[in-house]
Structure 1
């Protein structure tokens, strides 16, 4: 409430990019450009408080899925946080197909709203630049190392869905979503390594995306449940790290569930990744 009256809200448009960049920069303490905000506005639904003190945003779910993501910015001198969360949930509730809204906060913060439940910790990790594999371990027989160009249509989609079925961070993507990702300028086909069966089915995978001039974001990384426990991801990750070192690609980052049921975080720590940011995901079922 503002002065005893409910906050008014309006939909944000391209003309609000400069204002939103200034607001996000103030709240985050880091520089956010209007170009970044313009790109953000092309995929997120954004609303701005009439008073210019806050903004909320919702990323709609992919087709056929239910989870969307939320964010908000409130000026430091404002005390309207509860009204902002109300508006965020209202915006999410009006977003077609969205039934689970997820937000992420630094782990030292909490959501002062009983509608949100803690889901899981999220770690951002970066490679230390000194811990390198001497060689890439061999894959277990009868698997072989394959490249993205060798994957049969639908084979990766099937493997991804199986590998992430028991994971909490990501929902499976459909064929159209993978086609868009693989066709994007950021997709680094040369980084993608896969463990293939004699029938050319995918047993494990490590993919990568370009970030900035020479940076790399690794992921998704996974192993089909029937092949887990045989060192497949460790071997594939070692191969990717060797490639990054030889080609001077840095920084190498990834995001992982800090309490992954497959203990993926322990694998990354073993391979020289360290935690640089700890977040906690909260969710509300609409």
Structure 2
């Protein structure tokens, strides 16, 4: 997903959580604010990453117990629980063990350990209440479907607190755009990253995408797994979601792999586009984009 930058913007780029971040603002960011943004990303990764052995999530994978997370856990837990219920367990934060079974593990071995395994049932192993997460057995939590979006919103809050009312935060394709000027964003072709299948205009909203060609390995293996089977989803190949917050857009972009957008619209205020493996596409009437023919 490529964004067309607006004139008069100053850009600050850095690496964090294995992702390139680019923050564009009308004025140059002070050094202290740039440090706060980098530190916020590092702290989030230190709590939530299943790839860092010192994180809270890594501790949960080693031993059951009660764990206290930062304030964003309340939003993440409520959103994941709702989507878990709506999808019949297909979308779940407990998918980490299934991903590791297929080779997407902390060592990036990319070597499956055997057949796919379903994620455990939420109520059998997990109680998530606000900032507190209690487990009955070791579990591998993975918030990858919403975590990066959550972090974009946290950085946007830092900028707003510093008086930056206009900004664009680009976390390798997960975008938050605030301010009077819209941003034209190309929609990446799911089979050819050098091509676009359309363009969408984003203004005072977030746009997030999910695609089966990202974080893919082996024979048909990719990171979007159905929690009820532990196997990669085969129907949808790319999705986009526009919403007022990046955490919601990020989560719904993944949820579109498991549910029709028209069904999700009954519970969430957003617009969407889904491209399927047969080449067809579906989108909401309010999707502010144009698909190329």
Which structure has the bigger radius of gyration? Answer: 1
What band does the TM-score fall into relative to the shorter chain? Answer: under 0.3
What is the TM-score with the length of structure 1 in the denominator?
0.25
What is the TM-score with the length of structure 2 in the denominator?
0.25
**Bigger RCO of structures 1 and 2 (CA < 8 A, at least 6 apart):** 1
